[in-house]
Amino acid sequence: QVQLVESGGGLVQAGGSLRLSCAASGRTFRDYDMGWFRLGPGKEREFVAAIRWNGGNTYYTDSAKGRFTISRDNAKNTGYLQMNSLKPEDTAVYYCAARTASLSSMRGYYEYWGQGTQVTVSL
């Protein structure tokens, strides 16, 4: 198993930036694809971004393209989500997720989840 712990959430004004981190422990982090999802108030859980186990390919939901950047440092067992130009509609609990490296859709099933970190964007 792999354990995931998110950090870096907080309150920011619209237009601001935050960098979320996802610290992994347990198994070898580079064996896992990683994704970020979010759950906004009154909304369903939404895919935000994902990155292959080796960092070779990244994927984004349309609303995140051009504003968010997903990355990872396998040597540090940590993944990141840099969020710029934040909007109030980005307000949500953000979850880091991991799955055994696979060729299947990066928007699909993930085996392991963190506890989430709250991101609040004010006007």
pLDDT tens digits for the chain (123 residues)? 899 999 999 999 999 999 999 999 988 899 999 999 999 999 999 999 999 999 989 999 999 999 999 999 999 999 999 999 999 999 999 999 999 998 888 888 999 999 999 999 999
From CA 50, how far away is CA 32, in angstroms rounded? Answer: 11
Q: Which of 24, 45, 46, 48 is nearest to 99 (CA)?
A: 24
Residue 11 has a pLDDT of 98
Residue 108 has a pLDDT of 84
Residue 56 has a pLDDT of 87
Residue 73 has a pLDDT of 96
3-state secondary structure of 90: helix
Q: Are 36 and 49 a contacting pair, CB within 8 Å?
A: yes
